[in-house]
A and B are shown apart, each in its own frame.
Chain A
Amino acid sequence: GIQVEQSPPDLILQEGANSTLRCNFSDSVNNLQWFHQNPWGQLINLFYIPSGTKQNGRLSATTVATERYSLLYISSSQTTDSGVYFCAGPPRGGNKLTFGTGTQLKVEL
C-alpha cells in the first residue's frame, strides 16, 4: 500500500502565528483529505482536495498531485486549532484510505 509521511510530527505555536503542515505520499492518491482531531478524539473533515488550492476561513490547503504532496496552511492560529492534523487518501482506483501519523499541534496563549 501507499505510505503517507507527515511533517512536522509536533508543533507548538503562539496564538496568532501561522504554520504550514506537509503531507507526502509514496504513490498517486485520489480523494486526498485533511482532518482535524480534537482533544476529545472526534475527527472532522477539513478539506477534500485531490488537486489545486482551497480555502476555508483561516485554513487553506494545496495539493500538487503530480509531485505527490499536499500542504495545509493555518493562519492566525487560535487555541481551538490545537489537536492532531491528519492527511489521508486512497490509492488510485481504490477505497482503502491510508492515513499519515499526524501532526500534533498545540497553540498557546
Chain B
Amino acid sequence: DVKVTQSSRYLVKRTGEKVFLECVQDMDHENMFWYRQDPGLGLRLIYFSYDVKMKEKGDIPEGYSVSREKKERFSLILESASTNQTSMYLCASLRTGAGNTIYFGEGSWLTVV
C-alpha cells in the first residue's frame, strides 16, 4: 500500500516563527501536493510538484513556499507564521497517468499563537 507520512501531527508555533511541514511518500509518485483544510472551505491547494525541483502554485500560495529536493519528499515552509495560517495541512501524492488515485497523509494540525 502507498504510504504518505507527514512528520508532525500536531504543532503549536508562535507568530513570526519559521515552520517546516514535511511529507514523505514511499511509492515513487511523480506528483505531490499540499492542501490546507478549513471549515466550510474544503481543501484548497497551496502548491504542487510534478517532479523533483519542480513546483507550481496552487490556489492560495501566498505566505508559503515549498521544496522538493528528492522525489519522495515534499516540504511546505511557512517563512513567518501568522495566526491566519492556523489550519489542518494535508499532503498527497499521485502517480502520473489516467486511472491512478491520490493518496493522503493523516494531516498536520497547525496552531499559530
Residues of chain A whose beta carbon lies under 8 Å from any beta carbon of chain B: 1, 30-31, 33, 35, 40-43, 45, 48, 50, 86, 88, 95-102
Main secondary structure of the interface of B (DSSP, over half): strand
Beta-carbon contact of B107 and A41 below 8 Å: yes
Residues of chain B whose beta carbon lies under 8 Å from any beta carbon of chain A: 31, 33, 35, 40-45, 48, 50, 56, 58-59, 88, 90, 92, 94, 96, 98-104, 106-107, 109
Beta-carbon contact of B50 and A95 below 8 Å: yes
Main secondary structure of the interface of A (DSSP, over half): loop
Supply 30 A–B pairs (Cβ within 8 Å), ascending by A: A1-B59, A30-B98, A41-B109, A42-B104, A42-B106, A43-B104, A45-B101, A45-B103, A48-B99, A86-B43, A95-B31, A95-B50, A95-B96, A96-B45, A96-B48, A96-B56, A96-B58, A97-B33, A97-B45, A97-B92, A97-B102, A98-B59, A99-B35, A99-B42, A99-B44, A100-B42, A101-B40, A101-B41, A101-B42, A102-B42
Closest residue of A by beta carbon distance from B107 = A41
Q: How far is the CA of A42 from the CA of B98 in the complex (A)?
A: 24
A98 / chain B contacts, CB cutoff of 8 Å: 45, 59
B98 / chain A contacts, CB cutoff of 8 Å: 30-31, 50
With A1-B59, A48-B101, A97-B45 in contact, do A41 and B50 touch (Cβ < 8 Å)?
A: no
Q: How far is the CA of A35 from the CA of B100 in the complex (A)?
A: 14
